[in-house]
Amino acid sequence: MLAVDEAQPKAAFRDVVMAYVGLTKPRVIELLLLTTVPVMFFAARGVPPLGLVVATVIGGTLSAGSASVFNCVYDRDIDEQMRRTRRRALPRHIVTPAAALVFGVVLGVLSTVVLAVWVNLLSAALSVTAIAFYVFVYTMLLKRRTTQNIVWGGIAGCFPTLIGWTAVTGELSWVPVVLFAVVFFWTPPHTWALALRYREDYAQVDVPMLPVVKPARNVALQIVLYSWVMVGTSLLLWPVAGTGPLYPVVALVLGAVFLAQAHGLHRRARGTEELSVLQPMRLFHSSNLYLSLLFVAVAIDPLLR
């Protein structure tokens, strides 16, 4: 009995720690860092200083975590009603909203200090801008009011490309802007595919995601259009940055596969609204793989030159 009693507080403590970690949305952080570090390699035309990479990754992780925590605090009412989010810390009442808010502020302050002291002021300013945009523009202004919520709100997720570049160079240029645009046009197909899967959840809480207010065929058409623009934008990096042959080849192959997936979803959506037939998560998972491999190519390209 004594051994069981001693184990109980440890289990409870672990649950609380994991709840705080969950508030930061680690999977989102992973995706954001995936667009930060490769850009640093590209900006350095090789391997950037390890200390700079570590500082940028730590600052970026804290920054993205802060924005996610604020999002969880504001959206806790609808998170409690949605199947996809009801297991988060706030709906389960493992963490109080006040404690979560303090946690988000602490993460935001720490991220700003890390980036300002060990990277540079421009990167720190961009990080603060990204947090503010995600919280005030996307979460509080757009998400519950317009079908274009993730189109414009997705801008916040594009900032890591700028932060990664400025961390190395200390200034902005057209190269990170092109990569910023790639992520911008990638976000709607990625998010709308997920929203197709969970459209009933969004409808239940009156969040006007595009799949909630438009038929699947209309959503799929929008996905196809954004996908074509995304692929075209990705190929712009070749002439703008003067890449080697690896990047355009990878971008072209990945783009062709992504477009095939998008057109496949559109073809299925023209015949049915049935989720089991639409299979939108195929495109969602493909979009993650697309972005990952594209930015791996961004990192490797300068190493080969």
Q: Is the dihedral of CA 253, 258, 259, 260 positive or negative?
A: positive
At residue 2, the pLDDT reads 39
- Tell which wins on pLDDT, 272 or 56: 56
- Using alpha carbons, select from 156, 143, 270, 146 the residue that is nearest to residue 215: 270
Break the chain into its structural domains and give their ranges: 12-168, 173-305
- Compute the mean pLDDT over every residue in the chain, rounded to the nearest whole number: 93
Q: For residues 150 and 188, is the Cβ–Cβ distance under 8 A?
A: yes
Give residue 252's pLDDT band: very low, low, confident or very high (50, 70, 90). Answer: very high
- With pLDDT > 90 as the criterion, what percentage of the chain qualifies? 87
- The CATH H-level (homologous superfamily) assignment of domain 12-168 is UbiA prenyltransferase (1.10.357.140)
Fold observed for domain 173-305: Four Helix Bundle (Hemerythrin (Met), subunit A) (1.20.120)
Give residue 9's pLDDT band: very low, low, confident or very high (50, 70, 90). Answer: very low
Going by C-beta distance under 8 Å and a sequence separation of 6 or more, which residues neighbour residue 173?
Answer: 165
- Tell which wins on pLDDT, 9 or 303: 303
At residue 15, the pLDDT reads 82
- With pLDDT > 70 as the criterion, what percentage of the chain qualifies? 96
Q: For residues 48 and 63, is the Cβ–Cβ distance under 8 A?
A: no
At residue 139, the pLDDT reads 97
- What is the per-residue pLDDT across 193-209, written as a single tens digit (0 to 9) for each? 999 999 999 999 999 99
Q: Per the confidence metrics, is the pTM higher than 0.85?
A: yes
Distances (CA, A) of 50 to 37, 66, 122: 11, 24, 19
Query: Would the pLDDT of 5 be above 50?
Result: no
| Phi-psi region at 46: left, alpha or beta (left = phi > 0; alpha = psi -120 to 50) | left
Distances (CA, A) of 134 to 21, 44, 97: 19, 28, 18
3-state class (DSSP) for residue 208: coil
At residue 26, the pLDDT reads 93
